[in-house]
Homo-oligomer: A and B are copies of this chain.
Amino acid sequence: MAEDLATLVTAIAVRARAASLALAVSPARARNAALAELAGRIDLSQDFLIRANRRDLSAAEANGLTPAQVDRMALTQERLTQLADSVRQVASLPDPLGEVLEETIRPNGLRLRKVRVPIGVIGVIFEARPNVTVDCAALCIKSGNAVILRGGREIFETNTALAALISESIASAGLPRDCVQLIPTTDRAALDVMLRLDSHIHCIIPRGGEGLIRFVAENSTIPVIKHFEGVCFVYVDKAADLSMAESIVVNAKTQRPGVCNAAEQLLVHAGIAGAFLPRVGAALAAKGVQLRCDGASAAILGAAGIASEPASAEDFTAEFLDLVVAVRVVGSLDQAIATVNRDGSAHSDAIVTADEAAAGRFLAAVDSAAVFWNASTRFNDGFEFGFGAEIGISTDRLHARGPMGLRELCSYKWLVTGTGHIRE
């Protein structure tokens, strides 16, 4: 049985590899046609998809998933329309493939071109989010990568229905069906097999919570691109415009508190803490944000009649993903930089200041994927960066760092042209 599973998953990967070679040299026209076809089929198959999704939802309720979890799984007409639109949006983006990234002629006359090509075969491991199935399939087709999808058991029926549409769409555009394949079992052992098929799969992208990402990173012999959540800081410098600082802190914390680029940690320079903390404290409290404070900030807030709670040591490295913020007063820019680099997660961190030299030092010394000067951390996002699409925000330092769009789903190769060149 376990051997059958290994055979099954290996065969999927071998077929994906063969399909990837054809997809890599396919014209953009065919890849875009597959996406247009997929969007159309999603529109036309809403009933079919919602019926499949309902089977998952019934099982989810019977299995005691929370209403929030069930809601995230649910496909509605509105969500399906959005999903189809997002596929059309990916189709409309420029083709990332074939661009010459560098070109040089060596002193010996050898001509080198570095050209963007697909990575090859990508494995996506995800949980109970049916939009991931479609988004990842669309981004991979567009970027010329074959993809193997391994979704959570909670949405197995939904995924099977979506995979059928995807497969038909690819085939109708004349591309190999095996470009997008779903692992047709929710057996955990299938994942273990998949994560070790490094001869056939070139990259694994886990999409989900920290537990999933950690499991994948620990068990995969295939390179993994991780998308961990963020412990993001806003540092309000002594030279900050306080009105701007208030607006950025409130935005970074409250505009969407459950996402990875939301601020979790506030650092305020001692020189302006007396003036700034009461106003930002009142503004955050008005949005329902709980303040967890160090002694200095608690004293200032208390004197202004604003409630706060004492922070624990854990709060200062915490990712709350909720209406909670940890607050500290720092004595200097250097202390702020050291605190961010020590307690943060190198995701998205901001300084608010009118002092260009201070901003320059913060931007240079804070070792994060995106460092912001007078802007909200919430802008660390593929759409906001103009990528047009995003598979996630990489927290790795290799390959892609920060938002991953179509170009970050690509590798490159070197094309070298000579006239009979041999090496002496």
Contact = CB atoms under 8 A, between A and B. Distances in A.
28 contacts: A21-B341, A21-B367, A25-B364, A106-B386, A117-B367, A119-B397, A120-B367, A202-B396, A203-B397, A247-B420, A248-B420, A248-B421, A255-B423, A368-B413, A370-B413, A371-B413, A371-B415, A373-B416, A374-B420, A375-B417, A375-B420, A376-B422, A376-B423, A378-B422, A379-B421, A384-B423, A385-B414, A401-B411
A415 B255 CA distance: 21
A407 B236 CA distance: 34
Interface string A131-148: 000000000000000000
A175 B333 CA distance: 22
Interface of A: 21, 24-25, 104, 106, 110, 112, 117, 119-120, 198, 202-203, 217-218, 221, 223-225, 241, 244, 247-248, 250-252, 255, 341, 359, 363-365, 367-376, 378-380, 384-386, 396-399, 401-402, 411-423
Given A223-B224, A399-B398, A418 B363 contact: no
A386 B110 CA distance: 11
Contacts of A359: 417
A255 B379 contact: no
5 closest A-B pairs by beta carbon, nearest first, are A375-B418, A251-B422, A244-B420, A375-B421, A378-B423
Contacts of A363: 415
B247 A372 contact: no
B248 A413 contact: no
Given A251-B423, A368-B413, A374-B418, 12 more contacts: A25-B365, A110-B384, A112-B385, A120-B367, A248-B421, A371-B415, A375-B420, A376-B418, A376-B421, A379-B416, A397-B411, A401-B414
A104 B417 contact: no
Given A341-B21, A367-B21, A401 B422 contact: no
A398 B119 contact: yes
A218 B218 contact: no
Contact of A202 (B110, B218, B375, B397): B397
Nearest to A337: B21
